[in-house]
Amino acid sequence: MGVRKDLKQARRRTDLADRAKVETVRDDQGVVREARTPALAASATRGSTADIPFTNAAEAPGAVVLRRKEADQWRPVTAAAFAREVTAAAKGLIASGLEPGGRVALMSRTRYEWAVLDFAIWAAGGQTVPVYPTSSAEQIEWIVRDSGATLLIAETGENAATARRAVAGHPTPPAVSVLDDGAVLELAERGHGVGDEEVTARRAALTPDSVATVCYTSGTTGRPKGCVLTHGNLHAEAANTVALMHPVFKEVTGQTASTLLFLPLAHILGRSIQIACMLARIELGHFPSVRPDELRPELRAFRPTFVVGVPYLFERIHDTGRATAERMGRGASFDRADRIAVRFAEAYLNKFQGRGRGPSLGLYAGWALYELLVYRRVRKEVGGRLRYAISGGSPLDKRLNLFFYAAGILIYEGYGLTETTAAATIVPPLGPRAGTVGTPVPGTAIRIADDGEVLIKGGIVFNAYWNNKEATDAVLADDWLATGDLGSLDDDGYLTITGRKKDIIVTSGGKNVSPAVLEDRLRGRPLVGQCLVVGDNRPYVAAVITLDPEAVAHWLTVRKRPKDTPLSELCHDPQLLEDLQKAVDYTNEAVSRAESIRRFVVVEGAFTEENGLLTPSLKLKRGAVVGAYAKEIEGLYDSGGR
């Protein structure tokens, strides 16, 4: 098993194992209240992230730094070629009127041109303002007006039309261009009269304190706020995560690291991964969708060695494995493989951490059998070369993490916010600990406040919301960022997130319940698409559940029932409700009786970004969901609820 061998080899490499020692601080009761990890990369004292493509071109011009999808082929792009494209686009931006410190709104899905334009905006001395392509006209209007963007580059004609409508009432609407209509080539042509020396001069004027980007929060509640991130913030995040992770990926596995980036580049996690890959010259490809059915074929074609995703992706890969096994009449075998994987991984990792004897001979035999029957098929689904993954956005179910470890894919969880330039903690490569989000990223400190709130300090932490001093003062004090999340630190400085302060449910009986624990666990079960846990000022906790269409189609096929069975009928189907009750029972195993889900209702439709119930990063807009399903929620607390 590759990842077990990697861990053994890495543990013997003391130069790798001892690089990032976590320091902890305890209170008077001996409880760990603070953890900090010394920086592995020196703080930037000059220059900016704009320099990365040009440094790569100077030091390794022939190195393949990206792969670009053309037709059905992934074409290599060298460092020298990428730097030329960045320069040409930067000249075009200057010719288009972009002044040093000016802002450009970039409204697109994840694609190669995003990388070119992001670095080009910086090389021209500008600042990038990411806009989700699914944003409404109202959101676009606010972001463009608040940021003062003078140019807007949209992906499609439809995006551009929405943007033009949104900004039509502005005193000076930004010029709008379209990627699908050749915006990057147009910029290159427009910039013919601008000399290389102008780009060089503008790039040289940037410092680590220069603003690099204004990233607007996804707005689960209220109007989005613009997080001002500097080039120094971006460097602290990218340089330290590369220094922590890349030596293990590269030196221990012997693989040439490569990844397919499919997270939205309008989200800071996707941007930070892109910058880190460029900094380390890790081969990077772009794909515009996080939908598992669209992504899986591309993973098989690109064959990355690691990916960065959200729990939803790993949940659906696992569910696809189960569905495939059931179609082959081996559903029970998959369930046994799942149980053995969890037991095997837990025992092996306990031994690795010096906390147990490891798997028994029987467990080894069971793992070996299902490696042939199940686990290798899971690896094949994601290209066959994948050894590592990073999961963020929300907690990953511990059992699911252990399953993937036994299947030969080690998933490192991380935690962070836009305000922390993405990851503030990550499970270290030589210290896997399922169920936690890891230790502080090097150069970062985590503190737990008296009320359980997670506080963060370090070079990755932003220093202001754009044009919003009141909001800035509300979350920053003495350089510590108040995250709004609740958590705890264990004896080794590993952080566990238990919920959001503002999301805590208080039942009428006075019990405090974190819905995230229940929702994350329930969402990973078969048939469940999305879910919302409710119960504030109610006598007990309940849940609203939507169905996953792929899982339902498979469920109907296995039971030889009509594939066109109406969803309205399935929502009340006794057999399906019985299967969902098993998922709820599994979920309730993680909490006390008082915190458990007593009733649930299955609703038609879905929680999606398109209908305004999810953010672009797939987080629940709790208030919107409660409003949309108010009648069904009321029914959970009378005789009509299940």
- The structural domains of the chain, with segments of one domain joined by +, span 2-40+243-257+305-464, 49-56+77-231, 504-635
- pLDDT over 90 percentage in the chain: 62
Choose the weakest-confidence range: 34-43, 62-71, 512-521: 512-521
2: amino acid identity, one letter: G
Q: Which of 215-219, 393-397, 593-597 has the highest mean pLDDT?
A: 593-597
Residue 404: pLDDT band with limits 50, 70, 90: very high
Q: How far apart are the first and last CA of the chain?
A: 45
Please, what CATH class does the domain formed by 49-56+77-231 belong to?
Answer: alpha beta
* pLDDT tens-place string over residues 57-91: 999 999 999 999 998 899 999 999 999 999 999 99
The pLDDT assigned to 382 comes to 86
Q: Where are the beta strands (DSSP E) in 352-471?
A: 388-391, 410-417, 422-426, 439-440, 444-448, 453-458
User: What integer is the mean pLDDT of 185-211?
Assistant: 97
d(CA 148, CA 144): 6
Structure tokens given for 452: 């359980």
Mean pLDDT of 281-293: 90
Q: CA separation (Å) from 403 to 148, 323, 343, 345?
A: 48, 16, 9, 7
Q: What are phi and psi of 89, to 5 degrees?
A: -70, -35
Q: For 459-485, write each residue's pLDDT tens digit.
A: 999 999 999 999 999 999 999 999 999
The number of beta carbons lying within 10 Å of the beta carbon of residue 18 is: 9
The model's confidence at residue 641, banded by pLDDT at 50, 70 and 90, is very low
Express each pLDDT in 167-191 by its tens digit: 999 999 999 999 999 999 999 999 9
Q: Average pLDDT for residues 488-501, to the nearest whole number?
A: 91
**Does residue 12 surpass a pLDDT of 60?**
no
* Alpha helix stretches (DSSP H) within 133-210: 137-147, 157-167, 183-190, 196-204
Which DSSP helix (H) or strand (E) runs through 285? strand 283-286
At a CB cut-off of 8 Å and minimum separation 6, what does 448 contact?
32, 33, 34, 454, 455, 487, 488, 489
The pLDDT of residue 640: 44
pTM > 0.75: yes or no: yes
Cα–Cα distances in angstroms (integers) from residue 615 to residues 278, 475, 637, in the given order: 28, 22, 28
Query: What is 504-635's CATH topology?
Result: GMP Synthetase; Chain A, domain 3 (3.30.300)
Query: Is 437 exposed, middle or buried (CB count within 10 Å of its CB: 0-12, 13-18, 19+)?
Result: buried
State the pLDDT confidence band at 251, using cuts at 50, 70 and 90: low
* Helix H or strand E segment including 473: helix 469-475
> Checking DSSP bridges between strand 453-458 and strand 480-489, what pairing results, if any?
antiparallel
Q: With 0-12 CB in 10 A as exposed, 13-18 as middle and 19+ as buried, what is 616?
A: middle
Q: Grade residue 378 by pLDDT with cuts at 50, 70 and 90.
A: confident
Q: 149-163, 212-226, 349-363, 402-416 — which is least confidently predicted?
A: 212-226
Residue written as token pair 């392509």: 133
Rounded mean pLDDT, 443-460: 96
Reported residue count of the chain is: 642
Could you report the per-residue pLDDT of 106-133, keeping only the tens digit for each? 999 999 999 999 999 999 999 999 999 9
Nearest Cα to Cα of residue 271 among 482, 422, 431, 100: 422
Nearest to 520 by CA among 543, 493, 554: 543
Per-residue confidence (pLDDT) for residue 11, from 0 to 100: 57
Beta strands (DSSP E) in 438-511 are: 439-440, 444-448, 453-458, 476-477, 480-489, 495-500, 505-506
CB-CB neighbours of 171 under 10 Å: 5
Sorting pLDDT into bands at 50, 70 and 90, what band is 14?
low
**Average pLDDT, stretch 418-434?**
90
Residue 219 pLDDT class (50, 70, 90 cuts): low
